[in-house]
Structure 1
Amino acid sequence: MKRLETYLNKKGYVTYNRSYPSTVAGVERSAVHYINSALANISRDEVSKIHFVTHSLGGLLVRYYLSNHKIKQLGRIVMLAPPNNGSPVAEKYRDRFWYRWMTGVPGQQLHKSNNPLLEKLDPIYTDVGIIAGTRSSDPWFNHVFDGEHDGKVAVADTKLTEMKDLITVKHGHTFIMNKRKVKDHIVNFLATGNFYRQQERKPLLNTSES
């Protein structure tokens, strides 16, 4: 997320880029610990709103945190490729040794069916924009998807009922945040609550008489 952080700085945003061990602790523990830590490092006098820009599992951390805590200065939220409704990859492979070894505790919380974590997350009480990828960066998982996906998460599984806007981009899951178009979409949503879409030019009608 470093390139995105630099870009947002140039656009005038005060940023705090918080990483976390995404394969160690569960979503509940990481959400409370790391988001509280991030908020403690933000001077509330310097900012009027606190926005969140998340990637992948980070979206679930924010959803869990906001289901249990209030942020008075909460602004808008942009989620990049979030597994809001789980992932077919986790659904199919969560019992496999290699999957458990690679993804740790959080990997066991991303399955789609009968998921206690997803079932207890409340609707988010602010503007949410979602950017989903449609080009696979993990072709070895392509066979587990039916519709559009980014290699790890299906576009359909990124959606939230309360989302204000969703836009798709032809990029894969892992490095979606580094694409210039994605950065522009993020800035536009933070400023306006909607993603930028270039207006299509309509053909001119020739009304002159022959």
Structure 2
Amino acid sequence: MIGPADSNATPPAAPQPMRELVVLTHGIASTRFFLAPLAARLRSAGFTTRLTGYPSLWWSNETFGKRLAALLRRVAPSYDRVHLVVHSMGGIVARCALREELPPNFGRVVQIAPPNRGSHMATRLAVECGHPAWDNFIVRPHRFIAPTLVELVDAPDSFVNRLGPAPAGIDVGVIAASNDRVLYPEQTLLEGAADHCTVNGWHTGVLWTKETAELTARFLRTGRFGEGGQLSAVRDRLTPMAEA
């Protein structure tokens, strides 16, 4: 029987919520502040966020990936899990980071409008086509100003197309933009990704929609964009590109 003293016993402490950090980074010729609205929505969903930037036009995606992995290792000890949410070329930086040493509590990755199979626009701006005016006044200046752009061309042997599939054991989710003029929808596909979905909007504008934030938060928690951890209904709508 429970005596009088037992009735005053201190109830067990409620479990503490998991401390989850989301590191967000941007794409080429952009800034981390473009991700501020998405970060604010993720904070409202219970995540801690950190915006990080890099000089995206110069050096290489591999260099930025090493730096991003080093940042993850530095911040990880203060949290239970650390996730990545990345936009455009930031998705390629993230894939490079996944090839480096990661903290043991690394969580999931959400790529938003990533050129996983290159970008036709990058090819147009960075590969000479034989037209003297275009090559002299558009292509050559872009190749000089933005060496990282060359890594994003959609040629079968380009840097981005040699990166390989998503690493085993890491959930990567891909969100494509329905009206993207920078990428064809199939250029966002990543072999080995856990899920793929499409959000209405343009290449950068999808960052600022409530739908993108809700899908991102759901994937970080469950590893799926669908309700209840189910695969997204649009996951298989896109026809994979033929492998080179």
CA 68–157 in structure 1, closer or farther in 2 if over 3 Å, else same = same
Q: Bigger shift: 89-98 or 125-134?
A: 89-98
Amino acid at match of 1:37: L
Q: Bigger shift: 89-98 or 171-180?
A: 89-98
Unmatched segments (≥5 aa) in structure 2: 1-34, 128-134, 234-244
TM-score (norm 1): 0.79
Cα RMSD after superposing both structures:
2.4
SS in 1 for 2:99: helix
Work out which structure has the larger RCO, using CA pairs closer than 8 Å and 6 or more positions apart in sequence: 1
CA-CA distance at 1:33 after TM superposition: 2.1
CA-CA distance at 1:28 after TM superposition: 1.1
Amino acid at match of 1:78: V
Amino acid at match of 2:119: S
- Aligned match of 1:128 in 165, 172, 175? 172
Residue 81 of structure 1 corresponds to 113
- Aligned match of 2:161 in 118, 122, 130? 118
Unmatched segments (≥5 aa) in structure 1: 136-149, 201-210
SS in 2 for 1:132: strand
Is the 1:63–1:121 Cα contact (8 Å) retained in structure 2? no
CA 79–116 in structure 1, closer or farther in 2 if over 3 Å, else same = closer
Is the 1:63–1:122 Cα contact (8 Å) retained in structure 2? no
Amino acid at match of 1:54: V
1: CA distance, partners of 2:186 / 2:151: 18
Residue 29 of structure 2 corresponds to none
- 5 Å-filtered alignment, 1:32-51, equals 32-37=66-71, 39-40=73-74, 42-45=75-78, 47-51=79-83
CA 64–122 in structure 1, closer or farther in 2 if over 3 Å, else same = farther
CA 121–160 in structure 1, closer or farther in 2 if over 3 Å, else same = same
Percentage of identical aligned residues: 26
SS in 2 for 1:67: coil
- 5 Å-filtered alignment, 1:1-210, equals 1-37=35-71, 39-40=73-74, 42-45=75-78, 47-95=79-127, 96=135, 97-99=137-139, 101=141, 104-113=146-155, 114-121=157-164, 123-125=166-168, 126-135=170-179, 150-196=180-226
Is the 2:110–2:220 Cα contact (8 Å) retained in structure 1? yes
Amino acid at match of 1:17: L
CA-CA distance at 1:37 after TM superposition: 3.2
The count of corresponding residues between Structure 1 and Structure 2 is 184
Amino acid at match of 1:112: D
CA-CA distance at 1:101 after TM superposition: 4.0
Is the 1:133–1:173 Cα contact (8 Å) retained in structure 2? yes
